[in-house]
Amino acid sequence: MLLYPIAFIIALVSLALWFFNQRNNLNTAFFSGLFYLAFGAWAVSFFLADASMDTKIPVAVRDMLMMAGIPIMMQNFSKNKGVFFGLLFLLVGVYYGFGWDIWAESFSENKEATIETQNDITTDKDTTFELLVEIKNDKQRSDLQAIKNKHKLSLETAFAMKSGSTTDLDDYVAINIPNQNLSSQQAIILDLQNSGLVDWVEENETIKIDDPLTDLRRLPAVNRKFGVNDPGLSKQWALQELNADKLYTYFRENKIKPTKKARIFILDTGVDAKHEDIAKRYKSVKNEYDKDVQGHGTHCAGIAAAITDNNKGIASLSPADGFTEITSVKVLSDFGGGTQRTIINGILEAADNGADVISMSLGGRSSDSKQRAYKQAVDYANKKGAIVVVAAGNSNANSKNYAPAGAPGVICVSAIDTTLSRANFSNYVQDVKMGIAAPGTLIYSTFPKNQYKAFNGTSMATPYVAGLIGLMKSLKPELTTKEAYKILKKSGKNTQAVEETGMFIQPEAAIRMLLEE
């Protein structure tokens, strides 16, 4: 309801100007009339809002306090016209820059989001929705009204995508269960399943990152010469085991040129778009994705495609400009948490923005053996030309029981340590269809504010694979997931526990096989 936030700010500003003119013995008729008109519009929008009185009363108290307090406070500056109008412009600027969403969402308790607004879903809001429900094609959301009323549920469109006709994800709704009814969640699921109105019900499972910072003093020495000048190479043991020097030499000697610039989307906590080793290779889709408070997304971005041979920071598998670029979709909060819904919306958004590779260093234990919504999202991304790469997980368990690691259609990445053994924390991948291995311990990479740090985790292994596939897609844009995995597996080498880890990627051999087959 746009009327509400607009009416509020007009009422606030006109009241302040009314007081200002009154204090300075000027004509107040215009501003007093404007205030009464705006206040009337505010009152109408308030009473028409689709929310309970429990929600409305605190909103009314907040707004009344601000309408009373701010104009009275500003009266203290009414004799100094410059200061007064400076504060007034600052107030309006802060409101539209930071407060607009707060006021616009004041009555969001029962608001059903439309497709056009779903890309603005935030992780914190999304965690209030416990269920994801696929409504039958011949049914409508309104058909769920009886169940909605019985359990006091609220519903909104679950997923946003540009090509809704190509997927059943446009039939999904997200369901919020009020706190007092959370104990009835299983009964609600049964009611939905037995209603004949839905095809599928699953929990909106939580997703997180849990990769620990490591001690830089433990980083193994790197003695190989790579032929590039990035100072951080001395701390990148992974590139030594990946034979990155052979990759760089192969590109240089064969004068290999890209067919296109492949876009690698990092779905994570955001990416520091201004980082010295990322900025020139970064492509933004939304400003809010271009910062990273937590640091995890920036670390993954550097592994995938940091600028090589720029005399700064680290190197990546991308040997020169023009082959790959990094793009971010923020799907996790600044604390590293999110939900299945935010991840799936991130996949859809990346696919709709031209992703060639989608890299997801995140996950959580899943109670859903079919992972139906994830599969549909991956299928959607594949149809748009993207390959989806995900972390196996860090629980020393079977990755098939984790999401999105166990989702059909993804390439699932386990972590290898410096001895080429499965890292002791890494989930194993023998029960997923496309499991592969990459370095995942003591991984030195970019960190916000031009810093560099080392982490352990399958989160770190994943962008090595995503970066390599991005390089492959830059040379052969039509490459599919199955084709890419077949090459990675065939060109890879054994680990100490290859049944558990999958083959260990070998970039130069993979590129050679891609171009020479």
> Considering 272, 292, 296, 426, which one is annotated as catalytic?
296
How confident is the model over 310-329, as a mean pLDDT?
Answer: 96
At residue 327, the pLDDT reads 98
Model pLDDT, residue 210: 66
pLDDT at res. 69: 79
pLDDT of residue 424 exceeding 80, the answer is: yes
Q: Taking residues 430-450, what's their average pLDDT?
A: 96
Can you read off the two tokens belonging to residue 345?
């919306």
CA pair distance 228, 245, nearest whole angstrom: 9
CB 467 within 8 A of CB 270: no
Q: Which of 63, 268, 352, 368 is catalytic?
A: 268
pLDDT tops 80 at residue 211: no
Q: Is 325 helix (H, G, I), strand (E, B) or coil?
A: strand
CA distance 194 to 33: 57
The rounded distance, in Å, linking the Cα atoms of 203 and 186 is 10
Top-confidence residue, 7 or 23: 7
Per-residue pLDDT reduced to its tens digit, 274-303 = 999 999 999 999 999 999 999 999 999 999
* Strand (E) or helix (H) holding 339: strand 337-339
At 408, list the tokens: 């059909």
Residue 296 bears catalytic tag: yes
Domain ranges across the chain: 3-104, 115-204, 216-516
- Cβ(322)–Cβ(258) below 8 Å: yes
Tokens representing residue 169 in the block: 């994800």
Top-confidence residue, 90 or 110: 90
**For 216-516, which CATH class?**
alpha beta
pLDDT at residue 169, as a whole number = 95
Angle at the Cα of 418 from the Cα atoms of 412 and 423, rounded to 5 degrees:
45
Beta strands in 355-426 (DSSP E): 357-360, 364-365, 387-391, 402-403, 411-416
Percent of the chain at pLDDT exceeding 70: 89
Structural tokens at position 16: 């302040």
* 451-455/443-447 β-pairing: antiparallel
Q: What is the pLDDT of residue 106?
A: 60
Residue 123 has a CB neighbour count (10 Å cut-off) of: 21
pLDDT band at 15 (very low <50, low <70, confident <90, very high): confident
Higher-confidence residue: 69 or 98? 69
What mean pLDDT comes out for the span 405-423?
Answer: 96
pLDDT at 66: 79
More confident site: 214 or 432? 432
Instruction: Say which range, 55-64, 165-174, 197-206, 336-345, has the weakest mean pLDDT.
Output: 55-64
Average pLDDT score, the chain:
87
Q: Would you say 132 and 179 are in contact if contact means Cβ atoms under 8 Å apart?
A: no
Q: Quote the pLDDT of residue 8.
A: 78
Predicted TM-score of the model (pTM) = 0.75
Amino acid at 311: N
Q: How far apart are the first and last CA of the chain?
A: 58
Question: Average pLDDT for residues 450-456, to the nearest whole number?
Answer: 94
Q: pLDDT confidence of 270, banded at 50, 70, 90? A: very high
Average pLDDT over residues 32-45: 83
In CATH terms, 115-204 corresponds, of 1.10.3470, 3.30.70, 1.20.950, 3.40.50, to 3.30.70
Structure tokens at 497: 């526990």
The stretch 446-472 carries a mean pLDDT of: 96
Measuring CA to CA, which residue among 202, 491, 239 is closest to residue 373? 202
Structure-model confidence comparison of residues 86 and 97, the more confident one: 86
pLDDT above 90 coverage of the chain, percent:
66
The confidence score (pLDDT) of residue 282 equals 98
Judge whether residue 220 has pLDDT over 50. Answer: yes
How much is the average pLDDT of 187-212? 89
| Contact residues for 60 (Cβ-Cβ < 8 A; gap 6+) | 46
The answer, yes or no, to whether residue 215 has pLDDT greater than 70, is: no
* CA separation for the pair 26, 86 (Å, rounded): 19
pLDDT value, residue 99: 58
State yes or no: is 459 an active-site residue.
Answer: yes
- The side-by-side arrangement of strands in the sheet containing 324-330 is 324-330, 262-268, 357-360, 387-391, 411-416, 435-439
Evaluate if residue 405 carries a pLDDT over 70. yes
Q: Which two tokens stand for residue 306?
A: 């940091």
**pLDDT tens string 336-373:** 889 999 999 999 999 999 999 999 999 988 877 778 99
* Distance from C-alpha of 160 to C-alpha of 121, rounded to nearest angstrom: 10
Active-site choice (359, 459, 474, 491): 459
Q: What is the pLDDT of residues 95-145, one digit of tens each?
A: 666 555 555 556 544 332 222 222 222 333 345 799 999 999 999 989 999
